[in-house]
């Protein structure tokens, strides 16, 4: 039998979707917009709640769209688009209680929206004005983490703190850690699974499997469906239709509640697709087929909610027009916030290194100050930059 | 002579290395079909196959750790770390394993592993994409640490690094990837200076300026500007950061009596400190001024809209040259 250098004998299924295994995909709303039921995840939503989810989905897509445009126009250094992942982020984001804590990657703009973080804060990071700069406590969403997987350990430690504070129980607190399919290969993520497991920590590991880690498809990271990995670590795992906002909401709610009540961690694999480039500097035509993209277009997370609202008579054209108009207003607001964002005084780069500045830092700061003032018109140029 | 960018010159060098030795492998994130985020491995997976140009799982510790295992088995792996700030998950494998195995085995084991790292700022990136961690590795005995500064060196040095039986941490000046100049491909490696030799790029009598990587171009431009004001600056590209080519450095400083060391990395605890100490010790009676350092401040790399104020540039190099001359 032929064996290639990767050691793959022809008879061994290599991909996670081998012939003898069909992973269960939890779904409560089909791509056609039909409501499905699942015995473990009963979900009752009022018309208002469904409309609110629809609004979230549309608005975060609009913010994302605006940010991409701003990057193209040179106003942002880079942008990591959430296109296609709106339902995974809004569904899980709306499952959180205000007291819960979220640990995002760099792509969780939809989660940030649900937590109430001003989108301008995200632009600040991608424009290069700050490294984030928001107070994680203000909306219980931690800073974006760019180093792949690192935040899963922080989230786990935070959850261990909740245990020690005795903040568990029906009205207790829980933590959600976001990460991608690629991140599951990192040591940090696997260590987080172990820590969470042996400590029975109140945490939900929310993996958005968008099928790609930049140019590397899922099969570079795994041979089994990612959610099955949880078993080996000793806690439950499940796969949800990541483009189904109802299902994402239901499974995350349940997992968070289990965590709160002392039942330990859950791994949720939200099965979705990165519809755009990895970031604005990436060119996906170099490594993936457009046919794949086309097939995922049919599973669009927003369109199915719209279809459901129409079919069930819960919303009419005026509602959709109203949301679309609101999206434009928010798009405008985001654009203005970006264009009017002042640059920081270069001397502030010396702030917050330590709680108290060291003599060396004070000296370096003074050096830069005198160096800058040696250039005539420095103040003018700063003022100009501020309005650029 | 062929005109190439640094990115392309590295690509050609890697291609040569792979043609010359079937044991040479490339491994890293997105190095296959994509050809790396800076296109340094562009086309290599297609030409040499995915068994030799390996898109690895997303884990830097795994990349370097398995490269060590492959090297133990007789391969010569070239690891690509996507950005400077992402080498730290592999730090343990590099510092405790890669650097020490020859020593621990009393020379019975050799690890011809190359770890390529695009480094430095100036590209308007978000955090962790603009760092200069070379001193961390230069501080680790057992590693060779080198940096290329132009296409010719990129082409030759990457091949020399692959041929070298020691582990090599190979720094590439990210913001200069698209700088173009002439590369002697036909001449092969015979004409290239050894990988551990510094190179004098501009000769001068008044001040010695030491630099490497992205600062090479900055310092050459500074020397040209200084020449316009009748100051004769000697620019030396260190190339090898560990071990250092101290002979070349001392010879120049004994001639000029003045020295400015330039790097993007923070001055505090940086490579410049090591070099300044050596110069002070060995050239004390030739010095007309204290050795000065130009580099990053003692802060994390700042957000990109402030980076121009953080990074050493022509003005800051000239300012240091003037200060040196004012003693
Ligand atoms: C430790 C580390 N290594 C490499 C990178 C560069 N990088 C940024 S995103 C990315 C792919 C991440 O894929 P995945 O976890 O699936 O998340 P996605 O981007 O698809 O949301 C890589 C390799 C990084 N940010 N951190
Ligand atoms: Mg992914």
Q: Search chain A and give the residue with CA nearest B315.
A: A371
Q: Which two tokens stand for residue A190?
A: 């696997």
Does the beta carbon of B234 sit less than 6 angstroms from any atom of ligand 1? no
Question: Selecting from 3.30.750.24, 3.40.50.970, 3.40.50.720, 3.40.50.1100, what CATH number does the domain A21-339 have?
Answer: 3.40.50.970
Summary mean pLDDT of chain A: 93
For residue A191, give Cα distances in angstroms to A152, A153, B86: 9, 7, 18
The predicted pLDDT at position A382 comes to 53
Report pLDDT for A21.
76
**Of the candidates A96, A110, A102, which has an alpha carbon nearest to the alpha carbon of residue A257?**
A96
Q: What is the distance between the alpha carbons of residues B168 and A170, in angstroms, rounded to a whole number?
A: 55
Distance separating alpha carbons of residues B158 and A149, to the nearest angstrom: 31
Cβ-based neighbour number of residue A5 at 10 Å:
10
Question: A233 — contact with chain B (CB < 8 Å)?
Answer: no
Where are chain A's structural domains?
21-339, 346-386
C-alpha atoms less than 13 angstroms from C-alpha of B81 in its C-beta half-sphere: 32
Does position A12 have pLDDT exceeding 60, yes or no? no
Chain A positions touching B316 (Cβ under 8 A) are 371
Tell me if A183 CB under 6 Å of ligand 1: yes
CA of A52, closest CA in chain B: separation in Å?
A: 33
Does residue A49 register a pLDDT over 80? yes
Question: In three state form, how does the secondary structure of chain A look?
Answer: CCECCCCCECCCCCCCCCCCCCCCCECCECCCCCECCCCCCCCCCCHHHHHHHHHHHHHHHHHHHHHHHHHHCCCCCCCCCCCCCHHHHHHHHHHCCCCCEEECCCCCHHHHHHHCCCHHHHHHHHHCCCCCCCCHHHHCECCCCCCCCHHHHHHHHHHHHHHHCCCCCCCCCCEEEEEECHHHHCHHHHHHHHHHHHHCCCEEEEEEECCEECCEEHHHCCCCCHHHHHHHHCCCEEEEECCCHHHHHHHHHHHHHHHHCCCCCEEEEEECCCCCCCCCCCCHHHCCCHHHHHHHHCCCHHHHHHHHHHHCCCCCHHHHHHHHHHHHHHHHHHHHHHHCCCCCCHHHHHCCCCCCCCHHHHHHHHHHHHHHHCCCCHHHHHHHHHHC
The predicted structure's pLDDT at residue A3: 53
Q: Which of A214, A218, A222 to mutate to test ligand 1, by most ligand atoms within 8 A of the CB atom?
A: A214
Over 50: is that where the pLDDT of A387 sits?
no
Interface TM-score (ipTM) > 0.95: yes
Residues of B in contact with A187 (CB under 8 A): 59, 61-62, 89
Query: In Å, how far from its chain's centre is CA A8?
Result: 34
**Residue in chain B lying closest to A181 (CA):** B58
Q: Which residues contact A49 (CB under 8 A, 6 or more apart)?
A: none
Domains and CATH numbers, chain B: 2-183 (3.40.50.970), 199-325 (3.40.50.920)
The residue written with tokens 């490294």 in the block is A131
Tell me the C-alpha distance between B98 and B112, whole Å: 9
Active site residue A287: yes
Q: Do B58 and A350 touch (CB under 8 A)?
A: no
Cα–Cα distance, A239 to A269 (Å, whole number): 5
Whole-model pTM: value is: 0.96
User: Rg of the Cα trace of chain B?
Assistant: 19
Neighbours of ion ligand 2 (CB under 5 A): A 180-181, 210, 213
> Cα angle at A189 between A183 and A192, to 5 degrees?
160
B308 C-alpha to ligand 1 centroid (Å): 27
Flag whether pLDDT at A386 surpasses 50.
no
Mean pLDDT of A95-103: 98
pLDDT for A203 beyond 90: yes
| Closest to A41 measured CA to CA, from A204, A244, A251 | A251
Residue numbers of chain B with a pLDDT score lower than 70: none
pLDDT at A377: 60
Share of chain A above pLDDT 90, in %: 90
Sheet hosting strand A175-180, strand order edge to edge: A101-103, A175-180, A203-209, A266-271, A237-241
What sign does the dihedral B20-B25-B29-B30 (CA atoms) show? positive
Lookup: tokens for A130: 């700050």
Quote the CA–CA distance of B245 and B39 in Å, as a whole number: 31
Using the predicted structure, report yes or no on whether residue A13 has a pLDDT greater than 70.
no
- Position B63 scores a pLDDT of 99
Q: Is A309 in the pocket of ligand 1 (CB under 6 A)?
A: no
Cβ neighbour number for residue A7 with a 10 Å cutoff: 7
What is the rounded distance in angstroms from the CA atom of residue B155 to the CA atom of residue A364?
38
**CB B62 less than 6 A from any atom of ligand 1:** no
Taking the C-alpha atoms of residue B69 and residue B72, their distance in angstroms, rounded to an integer, is: 5
The pLDDT of residue B237: 98
| Beta bridge partner(s), residue A217 | A212
For the segment A49-63, the average pLDDT, to the nearest whole number, is 98
Task: Using the predicted structure, report yes or no on whether residue A263 has a pLDDT greater than 60.
Answer: yes
CA distance B10 to chain A (A): 20
Residues 6+ apart with CB under 8 A from B296: B132, B263, B264, B265, B266, B267, B270, B310, B311, B312
Give the Cα separation of A92 and A207 in Å (integer): 11
**pLDDT tens-digit readout, A78-90:** 999 999 999 999 9
Q: Cα(B52)–Cα(B77) distance, rounded to whole angstroms?
A: 9
CA–CA gap between residue B131 and residue B85 (Å, rounded): 6
Residues in B 69-88 with any Cβ partner in A closer than 8 A? 85-86, 88
């Amino acid at each position: 039998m032929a064996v290639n250098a990767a050691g793959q004998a022809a008879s061994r299924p290599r991909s996670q979707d081998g012939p003898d295994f069909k992973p269960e995909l939890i779904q409560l709303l089909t791509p056609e917009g039909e409501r499905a039921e699942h015995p473990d995840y009963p979900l009752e939503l009022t018309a208002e709640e469904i409309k609110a989810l629809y609004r979230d989905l549309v608005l975060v897509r609009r913010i994302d769209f605006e940010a991409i445009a701003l990057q193209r126009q040179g106003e942002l250094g880079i942008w990591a688009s959430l296109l296609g992942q709106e339902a995974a982020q809004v569904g899980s984001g709306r499952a959180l209680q205000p007291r819960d804590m979220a640990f995002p990657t760099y792509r969780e703009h939809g989660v940030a929206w649900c937590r109430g973080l001003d989108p301008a804060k995200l632009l600040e990071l991608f424009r290069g004005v700050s490294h984030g700069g928001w107070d994680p406590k203000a909306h219980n969403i931690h800073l974006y983490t760019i180093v792949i997987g690192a935040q899963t350990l922080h989230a786990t430690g935070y959850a261990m703190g909740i245990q020690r504070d005795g903040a568990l129980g029906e009205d207790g607190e829980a933590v959600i850690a976001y990460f991608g399919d690629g991140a599951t290969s990192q040591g940090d993520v696997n260590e987080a699974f172990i820590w969470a497991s042996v400590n029975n920590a109140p945490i939900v590991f929310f993996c958005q499997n968008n099928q790609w880690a930049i140019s590397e498809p899922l099969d570079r990271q795994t041979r089994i469906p990612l959610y099955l990995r949880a078993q080996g670590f000793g806690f439950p795992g499940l796969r949800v239709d990541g483009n189904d906002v109802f299902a994402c909401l239901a499974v995350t709610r349940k997992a968070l509640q289990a965590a709160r009540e002392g039942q330990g961690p859950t791994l949720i694999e939200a099965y979705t697709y990165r519809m755009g480039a990895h970031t604005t500097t990436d060119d996906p035509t170099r490594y993936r087929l457009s046919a794949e993209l086309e097939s995922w277009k049919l599973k669009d997370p927003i369109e199915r909610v719209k279809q459901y609202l129409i079919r069930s008579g819960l919303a009419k054209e005026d509602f959709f027009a109203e949301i679309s108009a609101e999206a434009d207003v928010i798009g405008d607001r985001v654009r203005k916030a970006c264009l009017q964002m002042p640059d920081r005084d270069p001397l502030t780069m010396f702030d917050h290194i330590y709680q108290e500045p060291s003599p060396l830092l004070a000296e370096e700061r003074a050096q830069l100050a005198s160096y800058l003032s040696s250039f005539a018109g420095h103040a003018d140029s700063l003022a100009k930059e501020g309005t650029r | 002579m062929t005109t190439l960018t640094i990115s392309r010159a590295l690509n050609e060098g890697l291609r040569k290395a792979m043609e010359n030795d079937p044991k040479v492998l490339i491994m890293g994130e997105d190095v296959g079909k994509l050809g790396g985020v800076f296109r340094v491995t562009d086309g290599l997976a297609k030409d040499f196959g995915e068994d030799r140009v390996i898109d690895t799982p997303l884990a830097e510790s795994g990349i370097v750790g398995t490269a060590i295992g492959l090297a133990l088995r007789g391969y010569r792996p070239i690891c690509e770390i996507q950005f400077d700030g992402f080498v730290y998950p592999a730090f343990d494998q590099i510092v405790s394993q890669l650097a020490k195995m020859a020593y621990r085995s009393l020379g019975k084991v050799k690890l011809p592993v190359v770890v390529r790292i695009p480094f430095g700022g100036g590209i308007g990136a978000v955090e962790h994409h603009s760092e200069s961690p070379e001193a961390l590795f230069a501080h680790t005995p057992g590693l060779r640490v080198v940096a290329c500064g132009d296409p010719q060196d990129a082409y030759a040095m990457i091949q020399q690094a692959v041929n070298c039986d020691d582990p090599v941490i190979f720094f590439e000046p990210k913001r200069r990837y698209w700088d173009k100049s002439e590369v002697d491909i036909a001449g092969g490696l015979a004409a290239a200076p050894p990988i551990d030799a510094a190179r004098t790029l501009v000769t001068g009598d008044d001040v010695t300026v030491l630099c490497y990587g992205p600062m090479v171009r900055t310092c050459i431009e500074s020397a040209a500007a200084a020449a316009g004001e009748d100051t004769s600056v000697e620019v030396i590209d260190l190339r090898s950061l560990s071990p250092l080519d101290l002979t070349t450095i001392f010879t120049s400083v004994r001639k000029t009596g003045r020295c400015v060391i330039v790097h993007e990395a923070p001055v505090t605890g940086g490579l410049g400190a090591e070099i300044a100490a050596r110069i002070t010790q060995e050239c004390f009676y030739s010095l007309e001024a204290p050795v000065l350092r130009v580099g990053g401040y003692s802060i994390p790399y700042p957000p990109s809209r402030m980076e121009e104020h953080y990074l050493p540039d022509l003005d800051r190099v000239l300012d240091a040259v003037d200060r040196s001359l004012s003693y």
